[in-house]
Each structure stands twice: as structure tokens, then as C-alpha cells.
């Protein structure tokens, strides 16, 4: 009887601290909800519940110099295309050991699409080929969309998408929970076009704008046109650069979140 009670109490304690039943090792222990962090331009990192880091389009733009709290290591790095504000994998100390996926074959600006469909542990990564402009790549070449599945979330990073999607491309992208979309125009789709793409993809949970102008880096338009296309209650503007995802029933869907490009604690800028 005593053994039964002890086993029952152990089962309850594991459930309360968030560990799946039968998993007690530190290696598999969840560290918290999945988190999205913004580093300016199109550079996002995703930290999984087990502490793995997935990075998209890392840059080293001086105006967005990485803060001291930025991740120094990444387990998976996705590079959508070959422009140098999206390819700086060297910002991660362990980039030579990280798994790097590229949306294009080789380093040429005229490179063809690279088809990705792989798994790194419990992280699934696949790509969909699109264009960097609305002239089928004649102006700026091709671009890779990355879809990452981890912890029950389907995260889509559109890279430097330059056109409205075709029905076939929407189908290949598939269901999306979290969408990262360029909105600044000039080199990518603008705010109005980005809203149409959101309506095409229909992300279920979150939308994160990227590749837009800010007060410290403004070669493209701001996110204002894009944000204004949504009801105000559906838009959240944060003074921090990180958000922990949730599936709260009370939250607007999809919630459009504009993150800051430095953490709230950084008072230097």
C-alpha cells in the first residue's frame, strides 16, 4: 500500500512540474514555454521548451549589434537567401558545429532553390521555394521559406518574400501557427501586400512582422502600414524583444506582435 501511495505522489509531482510521465532526466526536462526573440531585420531566434535554439536569417547590422543577452550558440540555423544581411551565421560562436540549412544552393545571388526536409532531434525543418521579387527572381533572385515544427508549434519564416503567394505555394507551406513576415517594402512585400499574404496563409496563433524600418535603421518602410491593416485589439507592440508563446483561449487570433529589437533591460538605446 505504501509503495502504491509513493508511486502516486511521484506521478502527481512530475505532472505539476511539467515533466512528461516517465521522464525525469535533466536532458529532457522542459525549461519553460517556447520563446520567440527578435534581433532586428529578419533575424529571429526560437528557444524550444528543451532549450534548443533555432535561428533564422542572422545578420550583423551595426545598428542592431547583438546585445549581451543574445544567444551565443544555435543548434539549427536557417538562411533564406544569399544577401549578407541574412547570412551571418558567424554571430554564433558554435556556427561550425550547428546544423545550417540554406534556402538556396551555393552562395551565388542567382542560386537555385535548395529543397530541405530534415529532422534535428525533435526539430523538423523543411523549405518552400519562392522569389525575392515579383518578377520570378529576375530582379533579386530566389528565396527560401522555412517551416519549423517543434513542441507542437508550426513556425514559418518567409525570408525576403517579394510577391503574393500562388495557391500552390500556400499549399506547400501548409498549416501555420506562427508566421514571420517581411513588411517594409522596397526589397520585399510592403505592408498591404503582407496583409494579403497573412490572409492567404491564415496563421492560427501569432504573426511577427520583420524587415521593416526603425529609428536606428531605416532603409525600408516602417511596420505601420501592416499593423494598421489589423483591428487594434489584434495588435500588440512590445518594448521587449522576447515573447513566450501561449494558446490562451482569451487571446485574439492571430495576435500580431511587434517586438522591439533590444531587450527591455537594455537602456543603452
Contact residues for 79 (Cβ-Cβ < 8 A; gap 6+): 57, 58, 86, 87, 89, 100, 101, 102, 103, 144
User: What percentage of the chain carries pLDDT values higher than 90?
Assistant: 79
Residues 146-178 pLDDT 10s: 999 999 999 999 999 999 999 999 999 999 999
How would residue 70 be classed by pLDDT, with cut points 50, 70 and 90? Answer: low
pLDDT in the model for residue 19: 32
DSSP letter string, 38-66: E-STT-EEEE-TTS-EEEES----GGGPP
Least confident range from 1-10, 191-200, 202-211, 243-252: namely 1-10
Average pLDDT of the segment spanning 133-142: 95
Name the nearest CA neighbour of 153 among 17, 41, 35: 35
Confidence tier at 112 by pLDDT (50, 70, 90): very high
Q: Cα separation of 174 and 17, whole Å?
A: 33
Per-residue pLDDT at 179: 98
Gap between the Cα atoms of 40 and 241, Å rounded: 9
Mean pLDDT, residues 62-70? 72
Beta-carbon contacts of 257 under 8 Å, excluding residues fewer than 6 positions away, are 206, 207, 208, 236, 237, 238, 243
What distance in Å separates the CA atoms of residue 37 and residue 263, rounded to the nearest whole number?
9
All three cell numbers of 182, joined, read 517581411
pTM of the predicted model, to two decimals?
0.87
Instruction: Flag whether pLDDT at 5 surpasses 50.
Output: no
Cell 499593423 -> residue: 227
Question: What is the chain's mean pLDDT, rounded?
Answer: 88
Measured distance between the N- and C-terminal CA atoms of the chain, rounded to whole angstroms: 62
Q: Is 126 helix (H, G, I), strand (E, B) or coil?
A: strand
- Closest by Cα among 238, 235, 167 to 207: 235
Most confident of 57-61, 64-68, 207-211: 207-211
What percent of the chain shows pLDDT beyond 70? Answer: 85
How confident is the model at residue 162, as a pLDDT? 98
Q: Which residue has the cell 505532472?
A: 15
DSSP-based three-state secondary structure for 155: strand
What are the C-alpha distances in Å from 246 to residues 15, 87, 211, 251, 253?
18, 30, 24, 9, 11
pLDDT, position 109: 82
Which pLDDT band, with edges at 50, 70 and 90, does 108 fall under? confident
CA dist 205 and 177 (Å) reads 5
pLDDT band at 72 (very low <50, low <70, confident <90, very high): confident
Band (pLDDT 50/70/90 cuts) for residue 266 is low
pLDDT tops 90 at residue 26: no
Amino acid at each position: 500500500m505504501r509503495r502504491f501511495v509513493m508511486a502516486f505522489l511521484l506521478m502527481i509531482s512530475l505532472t505539476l512540474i511539467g515533466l512528461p510521465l516517465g521522464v525525469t532526466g535533466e536532458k529532457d526536462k522542459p525549461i519553460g514555454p517556447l520563446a520567440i526573440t527578435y534581433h532586428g531585420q529578419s533575424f529571429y531566434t526560437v528557444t524550444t521548451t528543451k532549450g534548443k535554439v533555432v535561428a533564422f536569417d542572422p545578420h550583423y547590422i551595426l545598428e542592431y549589434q547583438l546585445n549581451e543577452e543574445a544567444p551565443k550558440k544555435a543548434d539549427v540555423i536557417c538562411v533564406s537567401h544569399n544577401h549578407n544581411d541574412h547570412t551571418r551565421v558567424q554571430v554564433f560562436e558554435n556556427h561550425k558545429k550547428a546544423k545550417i540549412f540554406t534556402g538556396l544552393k551555393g552562395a551565388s545571388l542567382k542560386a537555385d532553390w535548395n529543397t530541405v526536409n530534415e529532422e534535428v532531434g525533435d526539430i523538423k525543418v523543411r523549405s518552400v521555394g519562392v522569389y525575392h521579387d515579383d518578377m520570378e527572381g529576375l530582379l533579386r533572385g530566389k528565396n527560401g521559406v522555412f517551416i519549423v515544427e517543434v513542441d507542437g508549434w508550426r513556425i514559418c519564416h518567409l525570408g525576403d518574400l517579394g510577391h503574393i503567394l500562388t495557391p500552390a505555394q500556400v499549399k506547400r507551406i501548409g498549416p501555420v501557427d506562427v508566421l514571420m513576415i517581411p513588411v517594409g517594402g522596397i526589397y520585399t512585400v510592403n505592408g498591404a501586400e503582407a496583409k494579403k499574404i497573412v490572409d492567404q496563409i491564415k496563421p492560427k496563433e501569432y504573426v511577427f512582422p520583420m524587415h521593416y524600418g526603425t529609428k536606428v535603421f531605416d532603409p525600408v518602410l516602417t511596420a505601420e502600414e501592416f499593423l494598421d491593416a489589423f483591428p487594434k485589439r489584434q495588435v500588440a507592440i512590445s518594448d521587449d524583444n522576447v515573447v513566450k508563446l501561449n494558446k490562451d483561449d482569451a487571446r485574439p487570433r492571430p495576435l500580431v506582435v511587434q517586438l522591439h529589437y533590444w531587450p527591455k533591460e537594455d537602456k543603452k538605446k
